[in-house]
Amino acid sequence: MAINTNKKRVLVIQPLHPAGMEMLKARDDIEIIECDSLDENVIAEAAKDVHAMTVRGATITRKIMSQAPDLMVVSRHGVGYDAVDLNTLNERNIPLCIAIHSNMISVAEQAMALLLGLAKDIFYYDEVTRTDDWGPRFPTRAVDLDGKNLLIIGFGRIGRQVAKRALGFDLKVFGYDPYVDDAILKAANVEPVSDFRKVLRDMDAVAIHCMKTEETTNMFSEAEFKDMKPDAFIVNCARGGIIDEHALYQALISGEIKGAGLDVLLDEPSAADHPLFSLKNVLLSPHIAGVTVESTQRMATQTVDNVLRVFDGNIDPECVVNQSVLSSSG
């Protein structure tokens, strides 16, 4: 039986930054239900008769959404949405919104940090500095990025921010994205590439910023690494599984490429004995590229803003993943 109230009920799954919660609390037409659990059954119970859900790390299933017959929107705290049952949302004509503007700067900065860390061999030199023998400073290991070729895979919001920063380091930037018009890349001073495999032999670094799909799964595997330069770096701040991790390990130990910077892995968290963890030419971060003090606040406020816009009939189409529901509801 539906709850008899004129208020819109918003289920907040896992805590939001206070700035986002204040936006909800400022509305007298909203009732907040909080659920700090990732258990499907617990979330399903909390989801009864809600009109909106804000989602961080939880998996949102058909079972959960079935508890909310009047559900109007699911709003993701971030940009990834592979843990949300999009088919169910499409069947019910419910928009899935993402916080598209929240973490693009943060991820782009992390990608550049990983690339710089690899180029300058930061962690090797840090270890040397902490000893009483600085002899291992030589022979020289660090390289400059100035004038080098960088290939960006995926030229969406994050890819464009990476290009902007890379150009600031005087890298020559190339871009591959079959879903973005060449004119957009050229306007950003990026050279469009129609077939990324044909230019790998000329690239000093590759930065991956595309979605993980059937098309991009294992996009970089044995053949691609064999085509890369032996002094090339690869950085992935997108999704685990776009790089074939076994092939990457083999490429790194055989010298087919020089180093890798990874914010994402296929299994997260991965076992402590993951082969890549044993390599000194791999820099790692725990899927944290998009999470900074500033981006956490931006994620929360945009996540809530997406909910409020749906309630107020003022949805931002740019934030909607399943665009088909817009035409269906229009």
Residues annotated as part of the active site = 239, 268, 287
CA 234/CA 207 separation, integer angstroms = 6
Helix, strand, coil abundance in the chain, percent, nearest 5 = 40, 15, 45
- Lookup: tokens for 297: 């606040």
Q: What is the CA radius of gyration of the chain?
A: 22
For CA atoms 279, 283, 284, 287, the dihedral sign is: negative
- Lookup: tokens for 197: 């495999």
Residue type for position 102: S
CA 216/CA 166 separation, integer angstroms = 23
Distance between alpha carbon 145 and the CA centroid of its chain, in Å? 24
CA 34/CA 195 separation, integer angstroms = 47
Distance between alpha carbon 31 and the CA centroid of its chain, in Å? 31
